[in-house]
Amino acid sequence: MNEKSQPKTQAIKTWVRDAAEQLASAGITSALLDAEIILAHTLRRSRTYLHAHGEDDISPRELDIANARLDLRLDRTPVAYIIGHKEFYGRQFKVTPSTLIPRPESEVLITLLGTYIAPDAARLVDVGTGTGCLGITAKLEFPQLTVTLTDVSRHALKVATANAEAHRAEVVIQQSDLLESVAGMIDYCIANLPYVDQSWERSPETNHEPKLALFADDEGLALIYRLINQATTKITPGGLLLLEADPCQHDRITTYASTHGFTPIETTDYIVMLRKT
C-alpha cells in the first residue's frame, strides 16, 4: 500500500488540541471542554480516557465522524444537540432540536421546590415541559408527587416520553396549551416558559433552538402572564407556582401576580416563587 492510499489517522491528543484551537478561534469560550466532549462521545469513551490515551490513534471512520461533529460546533450548533443529551440534576436527558436544552440555572427550581414541598401526596404540573427534565426530576426527587407534563408541542412530548421511560418515572404526559386542557386542581405548578424578547442580545447557539420554546411577546412576558391568569383558578389555596424568568422580569411578574391572587414568596437567580392566596 503506498503512502497516499494509507487510511488517515490522528492521535487523540492532537485532534483535541487542533479542535480546541479551531473552536477558540471561532469565539467559543468552552473550546477545550467542547472538543473533549465531542471526541469522547464519538469514541464512546469518557473524557478521562482521552487524557490517559492521548497517544492512541483515532480510526479513520471515527475521525470522519468527529470532524463532522466539530464542523457542527463551529457553526455554533450546541454540544447537546450534537451528542443528543444533556445532564440535568445529575441525570442524562435526551434532547433534540425540537426541545430547549436544559440549563443549569433551572436546577435551582428543583432545589427551591424541595425547601417548600410537603411530604404528603400532592399534584404537580410541569407546564411547557420540553425534555421533561423539570417534571421528571421532581417526580424522582419527591416520589409522593403525582406529576403531569404538558406541552403544546407534540414533538417535545415525544422527547419527554422517551426521557420518562429512560428514567422509569411514572408521570402523565398531556398535550395542552399551558394549563388549558388540564382538569382538576393543582398543588404545585412549575414552568420554564419562553421568556426571551426578540430584541435581547443572546448567544449564537440559541439560533439552533426552537423559537417556540424561546421567544414570547410583551417583552418576553406574554406566556407567563397567560399562565398566571389560568393558574388563578387551577392552583389550590396555599399552592405554589414556580416560574423561570430573567431577573429583569421578576418585579413585573410579582406585581402582576399580586393582582391575580398570588403572594410572592421568594425570588432567586432565575426563579420566581408565588403562593396562591
Q: What is the pLDDT of residues 122-173, one digit of tens each?
A: 999 999 999 999 999 999 999 999 999 999 999 999 999 999 999 999 999 9
- Yes or no: say if 244 and 271 are a contact pair by the CB < 8 Å rule: yes
Domains, the chain, in order of start with CATH, read 9-75 (1.10.8.10), 85-276 (3.40.50.150)
State whether residue 19 is helix, strand or coil. helix
212-235 CB burial, b ≥16 within 10 A, e <16: bbbbbeebbbbbbbbbbebbeebb
Q: Which set of grid coordinates corresponds to residue 241?
A: 407556582
Residue ranges for the chain with pLDDT beneath 50: 1-6
**Cell numbers placing 277:** 392566596
- Rounded to whole angstroms, the Cα distance separating 101 from 209 reads 8
Beta bridge partners of 252: none
Alpha carbon distance, N-terminus to C-terminus of the chain:
80
pLDDT at residue number 3:
43
Q: What is the pLDDT of residue 4?
A: 47
Q: What is the pTM of this model?
A: 0.90
